[in-house]
Chain A
């Protein structure tokens, strides 16, 4: 029998009422459309990135999938369980890090936190201790484990919050911006742990507004903005889907005839020639991105060109985001 996908969402919508303050005692009700007709399916064993600026709707989506919010309309299943009708099964089959360091009891020690959450995830006392020790070792929290959480640094608290998500050893991990407040080495260490857990078979939903993180870690990425899912695919699919002009530099022995053949290709928008150290440098601007590159090379070499160096300016995920949303992520989040 086929396993159900870890996440399936159909036509998911969420609107809620909010109040806008209009002075000391006045306020006005307004409606926020946090999610609009989101369809989504996450595959077993992948790291799935949800990319979007603050307020895009990614946390709302995650919260609905974790049964914390009720959708206004639409349906969703987590590990085959319906988010409205089988809430407790959804919760039991998911390891979740949502609130970061705010999801912990600061007056308790790290170990006490892990053991308490172990109990809430129905581990017996022996399993709780064992699992807590495993997590403490995995996250290298040994020296901190018996200190109250309030004495931890922000990064250490984030690590413990991540550890809390591992307590029930669930097949699905939902991590909402887990590297927030972590320093560079700690963030890198955490990503390595996530990757290892993924290699051990866990499916990971990873929300972030850090492009490089999504690019290096995620198998597939969904771009979400203003409650709408704007794009979904692997990082390279998203990049190649960009119908933007691509600039390619060809260096070597390139005849005028080869350049002229190149111009006959409809996607080639512009060519320019210069010379550098006695070699020809041909700069080609073409449409349809990298998919066109093999044809360009074939045409040039077919006309006797000897190519010594090819450099392209590859689009980044940031370019994809700009193309889909019309603005940069940095503008929305102030994260450079």
Chain B
């Protein structure tokens, strides 16, 4: 198969999405503002309610007294995760509604490469705005953003992106079938916020919920970044063991996501076709 041509098509898909974004630049402002606002609310609530020993209580539960950076990291990673779901879900849904999904299926570039191009666009946009939002948030709240191991934190983010975007394929399969994005993404967003421990450590969960949370790759990504930057504990004690778990997710989830997606896709093609929305 012509891998070079497929890579070129994938990058053309990324470029095309960026061209779209250039027509709606206001979206980037939202990407920057939202994580700061989402973190600011619990930060101010904590400051108001925690009194003089707020930092000590927080440190006892999380492993760091820097609750401002902790929450900013949580909301930045949350934004990255929800953006991944919104971008991929909306991409699929919009292509379906506009009629361009059938046009994509007429081209010889396999869908995985086109989806890959959209995922790269989404990842570039989300990671860069998440880092920027974290930096701006730290500047506003007078916190040093570059404490700890920045490089390791980035590795956790980058390795976590692959299982994250693989999960969006599973989600995409549902959207392909039920032809609904808004309600599903909104619901997913709250499940994500709840499970990945945006505002609290998942150690406080009951065992079953904690297990569910640990089966969700973004939980490991969030904790990895916090541990690298703020020194909260890794789930398995050391960074490389936690990273290994993300690697396992990285090896399994793409196949699982693609397998489910193609099965649903064939089911749709066997019946009403991709064009029906």
Contacts and interface: CB of A to CB of B under 8 A. Distances in A.
Interface stretch (A96-104, A262-270, A321-329): A96-104
B189 interface: no
A89 B1 CA distance: 11
A116 B273 contact: no
A57 to B, nearest CB: 13
Interface stretch (B54-62, B75-83, B96-104, B137-145): B96-104
B25 to A, nearest CB: 13
A312 to B, nearest CB: 45
A148 B269 CA distance: 31
B68 to A, nearest CB: 39
A319 to B, nearest CB: 34
A145 B109 CA distance: 25
Given A16-B271, A70-B270, A107-B23, A96 B106 contact: yes
A88 B12 contact: no
Contacts of B271: 16-17
B109 A70 contact: no
B185 interface: no
A46 interface: no
Contact of A122 (B102, B108, B266, B272): B108
B16 A108 contact: yes
A130 interface: no
Contact of B108 (A91, A103, A104): A91
A108 B108 contact: no
Nearest to A161: B103
Contacts of A105: 16, 20, 98, 100
A60 to B, nearest CB: 8
A104 B102 CA distance: 10
A310 interface: no
Given A103-B103, A108-B16, A122 B110 contact: no
Given A69-B273, A91-B108, A124 B8 contact: yes
B5 interface: yes
Q: Which 3 A-B pairs have the closest CB atoms?
A: A102-B99, A119-B12, A120-B107
Given A94-B106, A105-B16, A119-B12, 7 more contacts: A67-B105, A102-B98, A102-B99, A104-B100, A107-B23, A116-B12, A120-B12
